Amino acid sequence: MTDAPERILVLLKPDAVERHLVGEILRRIEAKGYDIVALKLVLPTVEVLDAHYAEHVDKPFYPGVVEYMTRGPVVAAVVEGQRVVEGVRSLMGATDPTAAAPGTIRGDLGRDWGTKAIQNLVHGSDSPISAEREIAIWFPELAN
Ligand code: IDP
């Protein structure tokens, strides 16, 4: 018997879509060897964001995050593979794109734009448990 494959919820945020970096970011995830098993373009609602960012809703920067994340569509993906959470988080790089290491998505493609929220192109769940919680929020149609 093999282990159930690990999954991660990935969001390509509005700045990634606006800057035509969707292909480049998905390419990096695919080139690492992970499988994209669900993919869609969606305009996030405040309700979905409040559920997704439950741990941040009371933070001072959260209104800026809502402004950022509702200004245009995002690409939501479920990505699968052994240790995929660790692997995709490593590909993404640190939260602040100015400080993120070169070679990472945020380090190579992102920068500070002087906006209220840190614009960093991509979200990836921070644990397998967070991933399953977030997949249920963004892909309710996948629930069995
Ligand atoms: P992560 O996306 O690297 O996991 P989190 O700490 O979970 O980082 O923060 C969620 C998102 O909220 C970040 O990706 C970023 O867009 C925004 N954010 C986090 N911290 C700050 C901050 O101090 N100022 C402005 N925006 C922030």
pLDDT tens for each residue of 72-126 = 999 999 999 999 999 999 999 999 999 999 999 999 999 999 999 999 999 999 9
Q: What's the topology of domain 6-142?
A: Alpha-Beta Plaits (3.30.70)
Please report which confidence band the pLDDT of residue 4 belongs to, taking 50, 70 and 90 as the band edges: confident
Domain spans in the chain, listed from the N-terminal domain onward: 6-142
User: How far apart are alpha carbons 93 and 105 in whole angstroms?
Assistant: 6
Distance from Cα 62 to the centre of ligand 1, integer Å: 9
Which ligand 1 atom lies nearest to the CA of residue 118?
Answer: 26
What would the two tokens of residue 2 be? 């093999």
Alpha-carbon dihedral angle through residues 27, 23, 138, 131, given to the nearest 10 degrees: 20
Strands of 7-12's sheet in order across:
35-42, 74-80, 7-12, 122-124
pLDDT of residue 130: 98
User: How far apart are alpha carbons 75 and 16 in whole angstroms?
Assistant: 9
Cβ of 61 less than 6 Å from ligand 1: yes
Predicted structure pTM score? 0.97
Length of the chain measured in residues: 144
13 is in an annotated binding site: yes
* Helix, strand, coil % over all residues of the chain, rounded to 5: 40, 15, 40
Calculate mean pLDDT across residues 15-39.
98
